[in-house]
């Protein structure tokens, strides 16, 4: 399967994620999806990111903002159900709140981030 096909599958799964989140009372707004190399370089230089190998560069990642009862939240506990759903949609899907898929809050936590890691 080529990159473009993966990108389309990723986008379709994001639509399911959005529907699921709203159905669970977590409303979403978009953060970043596609990111240019120039933007990624700025993030690496400023310490916001540690890698130039981000799936945002491949159109295979998206960041969301979450609203629970109208209040902005990025708490692991608030988002975990959505992260688990994301990982159930495709074996290559990863949630930034649980990079290693161990269901435990540990290591580097990036709850807004959902990606397909092909």
Contacting positions for Zn ion (CB under 5 A): 61, 63, 113
Which of 105, 56, 36, 53 is CA-nearest to residue 77? 105
Contact 23, 82 (CB under 8 A): no
Contact 17, 82 (CB under 8 A): yes
Q: Where are the beta strands (DSSP E) in 1-118?
A: 26-30, 61-68, 71-73, 93-95, 113-116
Instruction: Compare residues 20 and 39 and give the one whose CB is closer to Zn ion.
Output: 39
Instruction: Compare residues 59 and 113 and give the one whose CB is closer to Zn ion.
Output: 113
Residue 55 CB, nearest approach to Zn ion (Å): 8
Residue 33 CB, nearest approach to Zn ion (Å): 9
Instruction: Compare residues 52 and 70 and give the one whose CB is closer to Zn ion.
Output: 52
State which residue has the least CB distance to Zn ion: 113
User: How many angstroms separate the CA atoms of 65 and 32, rounded?
Assistant: 10
Residue 61 CB, nearest approach to Zn ion (Å): 5
Residue 62 CB, nearest approach to Zn ion (Å): 7
Instruction: Compare residues 26 and 113 and give the one whose CB is closer to Zn ion.
Output: 113
């Amino acid at each position: 399967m080529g990159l473009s096909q993966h990108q389309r599958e990723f986008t379709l799964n994001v639509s399911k994620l959005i529907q699921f989140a709203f159905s669970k009372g977590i409303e979403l707004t978009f953060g970043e999806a596609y990111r240019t190399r120039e933007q990624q370089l700025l993030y690496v230089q400023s310490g916001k990111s540690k890698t130039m190998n981000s799936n945002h560069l491949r159109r295979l990642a998206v960041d969301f903002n979450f609203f629970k009862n109208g209040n902005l939240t990025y708490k692991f506990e608030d988002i975990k159900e959505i992260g688990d759903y994301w990982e159930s949609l495709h074996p290559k899907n990863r949630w930034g709140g649980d990079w290693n898929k161990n269901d435990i809050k540990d290591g580097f936590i990036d709850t807004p981030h959902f990606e397909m890691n092909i």
